Amino acid sequence: MTSSMNSTSSNDNLETYSIFWLDASVNNEENITAQKKLRSIINQLRTFVDPEDFLDHVCYIQQGDLTILIVSGQMGRIVVPEMQKLAQVSSIYVYCFDKEANLQWSQPYKKVKAVCTKLDELIDIIRVDQKNRGRNEEALAMDILDRSSTELNEEKKYFEALDFYEKSLAIHEKHLPPDHPDLGGSYNNIGVVHRRLGHYDLALDHYNRSLKIKLKSLPGQHPDIAMTYLNMGVVYAYKNELEQALIYMKRAQTIYEVALPFNHPDIVKIKDDVNRVEDNF
């Protein structure tokens, strides 16, 4: 079978991220225009029309380099199960004609971030995800605060972060299944910013939305569920609702003690948090 592989940079080592696009029609006129837009996000872009040729090349991605895969629905069924196992492929986007059919087969694969039927939507999602990628959003919110020199500036930076996260969430809500784990993470991170702004009821609302999704999409003893329970407990403690705080902190503690080694820092921390709340009763 004939293949096409185009590189937009003469030195692959200059970039950590690249885009691989696998589609029998990848080099038609519309898709070539889209490639130019994608290069403004990630310069290194390679195209393939043959799944076997793609699989041969993807195995040679260097350790430490990461690739974003755009794939047609038909070819996605062939390659996505293997890409789920490959650490160098960080995210997958399915570009297709039948969104519902491709949502059904792709939903079990957590690396599939979106299923799109329009190129502009696909490009917008990749642009937003690339801004978010690699960030621990809780740490980012902390960093925003640390860089502020006054209380006024701190608050302004948090509102800027909140606006960014909410726009990102709005795009994901349009293109991801309602129970996708990434949506749970987005709601949790928005809750974090609201908590740091002192918007405790809004924080709890977003944590509850996050929890609802995580309980459906993750195993019951997953540490991410414990993290959301802990975040909720912290907010209740700030509200001086200590009984509720203990309920959620102890739920987090129970999961951490099952899911993590006994001397894990998260277990040590949750025990300290529980003891501190109990001492204030």
How far, CA to CA in Å, does 178 sit from each of 32, 90, 107, 111, 183?
32, 21, 11, 16, 7
Report d(CA 241, CA 255) in Å as an integer: 22
pLDDT of residue 48: 94
pLDDT of residue 173: 84
Domains of the chain: 12-132 (3.40.50.2300), 137-279 (1.25.40.10)
- The one-letter amino acid code at 247 reads I
Query: Which three-class secondary structure state does DSSP give residue 155?
Result: helix
Q: What is the pLDDT along the chain (281 residues), one digit of tens a residue?
A: 344 444 333 333 223 678 999 999 999 999 999 999 998 888 789 999 999 888 888 877 765 567 899 999 999 999 999 898 887 888 999 999 999 999 999 988 989 999 999 999 999 998 877 766 544 444 444 454 444 434 445 667 788 878 878 887 887 787 788 888 888 888 988 998 899 888 999 999 999 999 999 999 888 888 889 999 999 999 999 999 999 999 999 999 999 999 888 888 888 889 988 998 988 77
Residue 69 sits at φ, ψ, to 5 deg, of: -105, 125
Do the Cβ atoms of 115 and 175 come closer than 8 Å? yes
What burial letters (b/e) apply to 55-94, b meaning 16+ CB within 10 Å?
beebeebeeeebbbbbbbbebbeebbeebeebebbbbbbb
How far, CA to CA in Å, does 67 sit from each of 31, 92, 233?
19, 9, 38
pLDDT of residue 16: 61
What burial letters (b/e) apply to 242-270, b meaning 16+ CB within 10 Å?
bebbbebbbbbbebbbebbeeeeebbeeb
Residue 21 sits at φ, ψ, to 5 deg, of: -120, 115
Report d(CA 168, CA 132) in Å as an integer: 9
pLDDT of residue 59: 75
pLDDT of residue 143: 53
Report d(CA 188, CA 22) in Å as an integer: 33
pLDDT of residue 15: 37
